[in-house]
Amino acid sequence: MANFTDNQLAQLKTALQQRYLELQNEVRNELAHTQDMENFDVTEYLNNIPDDIDTALVDRQISEMRELEMSMKYLSELEFGDCIDCGNEIGFERLIAYPSAQRCVICQSQYEKAFPQGPNPSL
Ligand SMILES: [Zn+2]
């Protein structure tokens, strides 16, 4: 695990949680016309996506939420902050800016070259 101070870890945890809540709200808003919002639970929804929903609408948010869930899990397993490809530190500044980042800048640019139509297309 990358060498973060307790203070940095606390900041990163907050950034992850805030981003997750943002995405949750986006998904809620985009699905507002298709779901009964009274009892709508986004986490439940993610675990059981109905076939009749156009998930393309929220695919980007859902995949980022899954990345954030992974990061939050890593955070408690002391693997947080390491690039999933090369194992080097992703870096505090990058993680604060992109809490869902799973790769260091170098590996991310290689990944985007290898998968130009990948989950995060630059439109
Ligand atoms: Zn890397």
For 67-116, write each residue's pLDDT tens digit. Answer: 888 888 877 666 788 898 999 999 999 999 999 898 999 999 999 999 87
Ligand 1 center–CA 23 separation, angstroms: 25
CATH for the stretch 6-114: 1.20.120.910
Ligand 1 center–CA 82 separation, angstroms: 8
Ligand 1 center–CA 17 separation, angstroms: 23
Residue 76 carries which side chain, given as an amino acid letter? S
Q: Which two tokens mark 103?
A: 């790769």
Ligand 1 center–CA 55 separation, angstroms: 30
Find how far residue 60's CA is from the centre of its chain.
9
Q: For the chain, which residues make up each domain, given as ranges? A: 6-114
**pTM check: above 0.85:** no
